[in-house]
Amino acid sequence: MNRMDRSLLELREMDTLAAGDSPVHRLHALAKLLTTVAYIIVTVSFGKYQLDGLLIMVLWPALLFSLSGIPVGTCFRKLRFVLPLVMAVGLFNPFFDRAPLLTVGGLTVSGGVVSMITLMLKGLFCLAASFLLMATTSIDDLCAALRRLHLPSILVTLLLLTYRYVGVMTEELSVMTDAYHLRAPGQRGIRFAAWGSFLGQLLLRSMDRAEELYGSMQLRGFSGNFAYAEDRRFTGRDALWLILWTAAFVLCRLYNIPGLLGRLLTGGIR
Amino acid sequence: MIRLENVSVYYTKDAPVLRNVSFTVEKGEAVGLIGANGAGKTTLMRALLGLLPHEGLITVDGTEVTPKTLPEIRRKMGFVLQNSDNQMFMPTVYEDMIFGPMNYGASREEADARVDAVLARLDLADLKHRHNHKLSGGEKRMAAIATVLAMEPEVLLMDEPTSALDPRNRRLIIRTIRELPETKLITSHDLDMIWDTCDRVIVLGRGSVAADGPAQEILQDRALLEANRLELPLRLAGPDGA
């Protein structure tokens, strides 16, 4: 099995995760989508020094991991290429913002360090929330939810086809890589001189297959609508999930709950 | 059921892939479409389904194939692609099977009932919730046929249904095709399969109809087949082709 095959399996693992059965999987895709969007907006809106307030936002992904039965390790494994990029966003803050902000156990911590950690956590939480949405909702249900929000059909179809074509392209890449290495024993990677024709062929082959796949969808009545996907009714349970969680996120944003708890525990509030 | 009159298909202006092709397929007929590589078999099927623009007249059940009538045409004709991987694009067999019916307005209950009926008819009930990428080649081909049958088409178009299958799966597909009552148009290089499944054969040669007649008559005509870069079915030619 080459690296492409492994990537393909990982991609398909998302479909397997999304096909699971748990209280979170059973929620309507629209409820999950809107809750995730609300969570991301609230998380991103925390100020750069509001690290203590932000910490409580970890509860939501933690609860979802627990309810859906999706292992946390799977999330980190799948996000291993994106996480370092997100983490790198605030890496230079400690160099630019050196003003002392707080003292922890006699150690002075600069504003730059706090804002770096805040940015990293924001990225981590948002990625985890997006991963959980994808891992508990099939791409077709998600697209159906986006159509319910009246997003243009062409954009939603583009999203669906991009998701499908990544798999098609990876399959083609896997076959071509195998074919290359069978005739280039002992070579590591693909020779630079062959990159042009290799990529050209990959593009042409992927286009052919993508066209065939889209043709197959059209022949079975696909016209940009997702009649075959989520057709359950949006129930009171879904509405409750959305409203309660959105309200909880807003409360967490308006009140520094960890700070309040801290003061309560240390006798700050009487 | 299907009527073609002087149908031509061009990929480039000066070189038609199909030239003035005319024939009809009656309701309930099983017609084999044979020809050497590049003869235009798949192109013809794609033109029938409106996936390629054509000149001339194509009608299906009296309705002309035009961009406006495509939904109606495609509802009547189910196409089993040569590469099942391109046909099975949903995560599971079940999801793939409800895709077509629900796009054409069936309710979830109706689609579910069709899925169960088709799977029972093809003896594939155990595949229902299997993941497509975990199916074997034969299972995938059978599931691809099932996805098309779930749409309850009046005509089945099949492109190389037995290619890349082991002998057991090939026999299973042949038996399945024979038992399907729908009108069938099948392209294949497997002339033994065509012998077993079709009443009539159309030979395509260099983009036009070279012969059209009863399957066993055409498939025994060595001169005709060789003139169109084909060979006798193995059962007639023997292993050395003599």
- Chain B touched by A13 (CB under 8 Å): no
Query: Residue A161, exposed/middle/buried by CB under 10 A (0-12, 13-18, 19+)?
Result: middle
On the question of pLDDT at A2 being above 70, the answer is no
Give the residue, B125 or A231, on which the prediction is more confident: B125
Using an 8 Å CB-CB cutoff, list chain B residues near A215: 46, 51
DSSP string, B188-227: -S-HHHHHHH-SEEEEEETTEEEEEEEHHHHHT-HHHHHH
Judging contacts by C-beta atoms under 8 Å, the chain B residues touching residue A209 are 83, 86
What percent of chain A is modeled with pLDDT above 70? 96
Yes or no: say if B42 and B68 are a contact pair by the CB < 8 Å rule.
no
DSSP string, B129-196: T-BGGGS-HHHHHHHHHHHHHTT--SEEEEESTTTT--HHHHHHHHHHHHH--SEEEEE-S-HHHHHH
- Residue A268 is predicted with a pLDDT of 56
pLDDT greater than 50 at residue A267: yes
Which chain A residues are closer than 8 Å to B131 by Cβ? 12, 15-16, 19
How do residues B131-156 score in pLDDT, each as one tens digit? 888 898 889 999 999 999 999 999 99
CB contact under 8 A, B75 and A164: no
Q: In this complex, which of A213, A215, A228 lies closest to B51 when CB atoms are compared?
A: A215
Mean per-residue pLDDT for B208-228?
94
Query: In angstroms, what CA-CA distances link B201 with B66, B115, B174, B220?
Result: 26, 32, 16, 11
CB contact under 8 A, A222 and B103: yes
Interface check for A101 against chain B (CB to CB < 8 A): the answer is no
Sign of the torsion formed by the C-alpha atoms of A119, A120, A123 and A125: negative
Averaged pLDDT of chain B:
91
Could you read off the pLDDT of B72-110 as tens digits, one per residue?
Answer: 999 999 999 988 888 888 888 998 999 999 888 899 899
The pLDDT of B64-70, averaged and rounded, is 92
Q: Residue B112: pLDDT above 90?
A: yes
Separation CA B157–CA B197 (nearest Å): 13
Taking CA–CA distances from B94, the nearest residue in chain A reads: A228
Is A211 an interface residue toward B (CB < 8 Å)?
no
Count of A-B CB contacts under 8 Å: 72
Give yes or no for residue B21 having a pLDDT over 90.
yes
User: For A24-52, how does the pLDDT look when each residue is reduced to its tens digit (9 = 90+)?
Assistant: 999 999 999 999 999 999 999 999 888 88
Torsion sign (Cα): B161, B165, B171, B173: negative
Lowest mean pLDDT among A121-130, A168-177, A227-236: A227-236
A1 touching chain B per CB within 8 A:
no
> Are A220 and B103 a contacting pair at CB < 8 A?
yes
Q: Do A19 and B71 touch (CB under 8 A)?
A: no
Q: Is the pLDDT of residue A8 over 80?
A: no
Name the pLDDT band for A270 (thresholds 50, 70, 90).
very low
- DSSP reduced 3-state for B34: strand
